[in-house]
Chains A and B, each alone.
Chain A
C-alpha cells in the first residue's frame, strides 16, 4: 500500500491515449445500458422472444422431481469466477436453485474451481432461503472435484453414470470435456440444456443436448427466468449495440471497397 502512495507522486500521464477509442466505446456502452434500464417507457414496453432452452427448464426440473432423481448443474472447466460466462451461469443457477428448492429436488453442482464452488454455495443457499426452504439446502451437493481438465471430466462423468440425474445443465465455459459430458448425459437419457461462449463446443452441444442456448441467449437467461423488468430492459442494450456494430461494419465495408477501387487512403480514420 505504501509503494502505491509513493508511486502516485511520479510524473507519468494518468490516461493511456492509445486506449481512447476503447474508452469512448465503453462509455457509449455504459450509457446505452443505463438508458435502457432506467428509461421507464423503454423498460415497460420491452418484451423478450421465447427461447426454447429457457422454456424447457420447468419441464426438466419437473421431470427430475417426478422421477425422484437429482438435477446436475456444472459450469465447465474452461472458466473462472472472473469470466462473464461464469457469472451468467451462476445467475442461471440461482433461478434453477429456486425451483429445485420449491419442488424439493436434489441439486448437484460439481466444479473444477474452489472459488466458483464457494460462490455457488452462497448463491444456492440464498435461493433456498428466498424460496422459503432453507432446510432443503445441502452444502455437500456443491462440491469441488478436480482442477485438471480430464480429472474433472472423469469425476463428473462418474457422477452422471452412477447417480443418473434426470436433468443436466451444462452452462458455462467448456473446452474438450464438453462432448464427453454431453454424450454421457445423452447415454443415460437425461434432459440436457447447454450453453457456452465457445463456438467450437456449441456445435458439440447442439448434436448431443436437447436444448442449446446460442450466443447471447445464455446472458439473457437471468432476466428471462426471473422476469425482472430492469434486467430484461438492459438486454435491449445488446440489441442497440448490435445495430451500431452492423452499421459500423456496413460503413467500413463500403469505405474499404471504395479505397481498393480508387487506391485512396481518405478514410483511414475509422481504423482504430
Chain B
C-alpha cells in the first residue's frame, strides 16, 4: 500500500508538472510556483535532519577518538558561524563576514587550487601514447597547448586556427553525440520513474 501511494504521488505530480509546462494560464504558473515553494519547505526540513546527522556523527567520532582535530574544527565552525550571525548580523565589517572572507574563502580557494596539480598528474597518465588513439589525443593536446600559450617573438596563427578547428569540429561532434545520448537517457529515465516502470528507488518491487 505504501509503495502504491508513493507510485501514485510520483505519477500525479509528474503529470501535473508536465501539463503545466505547456500552459501559459496564470493558474498553471501559480501551481508551479506553489510546488516550488513547497520544495523549499521540504529542503529546509531535510537540512535540519542533515545537520542533526552531521552533529551526531561528529560527536560519535569524537568520543571514539577518530580524526579528532577535523571533527572539532567542523563542529566549531558549525556552532560559531550562526552564533556570530545572530549576535552581530551578516553585513560588512561584522565578525561573520570577516571569518567568511578570511577563513572560508581562502580555504575553498586552496581546495580549488589543488585542481591544477591534479590536472597535471591526470594529464601525465592520460597522454601516454600507448596506442594510435592515445597518440592522436597526445598530438591534439600538444597542438591546443601550444596554440593557447604565448611565447614572446613567436606567432602561432596557423596552429591557433587548427586548434580552433579541432575544438569546433571533431571534438564538438563527439561531444554532441554524447550529449544526445545523455539527453535521451534523461528523458527516458524521467518517464520510467513517472510512469512507474522504474521502481528501483522503491527497492525494486
* A-to-B contact residues, CB < 8 Å: 1, 3-4, 7-8, 10, 12-16, 19, 22-23, 26, 29-30, 33-34, 37, 84-85, 87-88, 90-91, 94-95, 98, 114-115, 117-119, 123, 126-127, 129-130, 139-140, 143-145, 148-151, 153-154, 157-158, 162, 176, 179-180, 182-183, 197, 199, 202, 204, 206-208, 214-216, 218-220, 222, 226, 228, 230-231, 234-235, 237-238, 241-242, 245
Contacts and interface: CB of A to CB of B under 8 A. Distances in A.
Interface in B135-192: 175, 177-182, 184-192
A127 B203 contact: yes
Contacts of B24: 12-13, 16
15 contacts: A4-B31, A12-B24, A12-B25, A33-B192, A84-B189, A88-B189, A91-B189, A114-B46, A143-B53, A180-B115, A197-B186, A207-B123, A219-B182, A222-B198, A238-B188
Contacts of B112: 150, 176
Interface in B93-141: 104, 107-109, 111-112, 114-115, 118-119, 121-123, 125-126
Nearest to A17: B24
B26 A219 contact: no
Contacts, number: 208
B114 A180 contact: yes
Given A117-B46, A140-B57, A19 B22 contact: yes
A213 to B, nearest CB: 10
Contacts of B180: 215, 242, 245
Contacts of B114: 180
B188 A33 contact: yes
Interface string B27-59: 110110010000000110011011101101100
Given A94-B203, A183-B118, A234-B192, A85 B27 contact: no
Contacts of B34: 1, 4
Contacts of B107: 150, 154
